[in-house]
Amino acid sequence: MSHLNFASRISLRLILLLALAGSVVAGDGDGGYAGAFLQVPAGARPTAMGGAYLAVSNDGAAPLFNPAGLSNITRPLFGSSYRVMQLDRKLGYVNLIFPVRGQAALGAHWLYAGSGSVEERNYQGDLTGYEISNNNHQFSVVFAKRFERIFSFGVNISYLHSEMNSSLAGFNTNSVGFDMGLMFYLDQLKDRNAREDMRIKDIQVGVTVKNIAKEYSWNSEKYNLKSSTSGRGAQQDDRFPVELGLGGSARFFERKLLLATDLIVREKLGPAFHAGAEYFVGEQLMLRTGFSNGRFTAGTGYLFKISNRSLFIDYAFSTDRADEGSEHIFSIDLHL
């Protein structure tokens, strides 16, 4: 019986470790599956707009939403963002994108998500003096190309790494996958004079397919070697839910008001609806608000002109999620 209880305790701790790895930055309705950290909007501008960004995606947040939008950049772009989250979680990215010949763009992107540390307890509930932590990284090569005037194509080819650490052993797993996106510029179906006479301008549609071939494979052999005499490990494969997205955006009032909306359908999860707006107050100040699957968001941005460079500093506020507390997001985009 003692051997059975010991094995049960080991199995319980292993299950808890893998559950933490699967939902490190998860919120209500999106935890329990691998890659939950990819479902949290990163970047202040898209977050403030409720995550409705598939048909916008023209800045440093584009690799995480629709890389096809980067085909329109004309100058090198450095982007970075950090999301201040509750429960000692972290989410942020850094990227560098360059325009290349033929209305195309090429760059690199790094996304980081971490849980901080959780105090470890034994089966009796006593502190062990150790901590459990989980960190996820996604390193991506980003490419986008515009074809004619009507549409552009973009792809992220990503290497993912996740590591879980505890008192007994560490778990590591890697994966390779990719995301694809299309952007359609519907107003380009009309000639230039007709476009300028339209009350609704810059009508765009974004289509994405994400998490293709992404999967985490966990093996408990090292854990079992340190916690029991068997040394036999169990294999667990966690496939990222494939995500399909459809979005639309357009500008009104002489391009002062941007409206956008997205519908996201994830495998094994229900559909999610996002809507957002951005309004230009003058040429440098932007006010934003949005609705993200039942949550209210808001934010602002300011454009600084530095010589011939442009620096965007953005901030977003997101209301509490599953009683976790409100969150604050900061981003910068520097057009070199």
pLDDT tens string 122-141: 666 666 666 677 788 999 99
Element (H, E) at 298: strand 295-306
List Cβ neighbours of 2 (8 Å cut-off, separation of 6 or more). Answer: none
Whether 173 is covered by a domain: the verdict is yes
Whether 296 is covered by a domain: the verdict is no
In this model, does residue 224 exceed pLDDT 90? no
Give the residue carrying structure tokens 């810059």.
202
Give the residue carrying structure tokens 């790094």.
110
How many structural domains does the chain have? 1
Q: Which of 20-34, 52-66, 260-274 has the lowest mean pLDDT?
A: 20-34
Mean pLDDT for the stretch of residues 30-52: 81
In this model, does residue 54 exceed pLDDT 90? yes
Query: Residue 323 — very low, low, confident or very high, per pLDDT cuts 50/70/90?
Result: low
**Maximal C-alpha separation, the chain:** 83
Would you state the pLDDT for residue 203?
Answer: 92
Token output for 228: 């029991």
Mean pLDDT for the stretch of residues 34-43: 80
Token output for 266: 């994830």
Mean pLDDT for the stretch of residues 297-319: 91
Are 27 and 321 in contact, with CB atoms under 8 Å apart? yes
CA distances from 322 to 27, 243, 284 (A): 7, 23, 35
Percent of the chain with pLDDT over 70: 76
Mean pLDDT for the stretch of residues 269-286: 91
Highest mean pLDDT among 107-111, 228-232, 270-274: 107-111
Mean pLDDT for the stretch of residues 109-118: 81
The CA-to-CA distance between both ends of the chain, in Å, stands at 67
Residue 66 exposed, middle or buried by CB count within 10 Å (0-12, 13-18, 19+)? buried
**Phi-psi bin for 89: left (phi > 0), alpha (psi -120 to 50), beta?**
beta
Query: Residue 325 — very low, low, confident or very high, per pLDDT cuts 50/70/90?
Result: low
Would you state the pLDDT for residue 2?
Answer: 44
Mean pLDDT for the stretch of residues 285-295: 89
Backbone torsions φ then ψ of 314, nearest 5 degrees:
-125, 150
Are 216 and 175 in contact, with CB atoms under 8 Å apart? yes
Whether 304 is covered by a domain: the verdict is no
User: Of 257, 242, 266, whose CA–CA distance to 49 is shortest?
Assistant: 257
Whether 333 is covered by a domain: the verdict is no
How much is the mean pLDDT over the chain?
81
Highest mean pLDDT among 122-126, 142-146, 219-223: 142-146
Distance between CA atoms of 90 and 115, rounded to whole angstroms?
6
In this model, does residue 57 exceed pLDDT 50? yes
Q: What is the pLDDT of residues 65-98, one digit of tens each?
A: 999 999 999 999 999 999 877 766 788 999 999 9
Whether 223 is covered by a domain: the verdict is yes
Distance between CA atoms of 188 and 195, rounded to whole angstroms?
8
Are 109 and 30 in contact, with CB atoms under 8 Å apart? no
Return the ∠ at Cα 119 (arms to 118 and 124), rounded to 5°.
130
In this model, does residue 284 exceed pLDDT 50? yes
Highest mean pLDDT among 49-63, 108-122, 125-139: 49-63
In this model, does residue 197 exceed pLDDT 50? yes
Whether 283 is covered by a domain: the verdict is no
Whether 54 is covered by a domain: the verdict is yes
User: Of 288, 21, 295, whose CA–CA distance to 164 is shortest?
Assistant: 21
Distance between CA atoms of 223 and 10, rounded to whole angstroms?
9
Query: Residue 171 — very low, low, confident or very high, per pLDDT cuts 50/70/90?
Result: confident
User: Which pTM does this prediction carry?
Assistant: 0.81
Would you state the pLDDT for residue 134?
Answer: 77
Distance between CA atoms of 329 and 60, rounded to whole angstroms?
14
In this model, does residue 278 exceed pLDDT 70? yes
Distance between CA atoms of 223 and 19, rounded to whole angstroms?
15
Mean pLDDT for the stretch of residues 304-319: 89
Mapping DSSP to helix (H, G, I), strand (E, B) and coil, where does residue 174 land? strand
Domain containing 171 equals 2-277
What's at 132, amino acid-wise?
I
Whether 200 is covered by a domain: the verdict is yes
Mapping DSSP to helix (H, G, I), strand (E, B) and coil, where does residue 64 land? helix
Mean pLDDT for the stretch of residues 219-238: 58
Query: Residue 17 — very low, low, confident or very high, per pLDDT cuts 50/70/90?
Result: very low
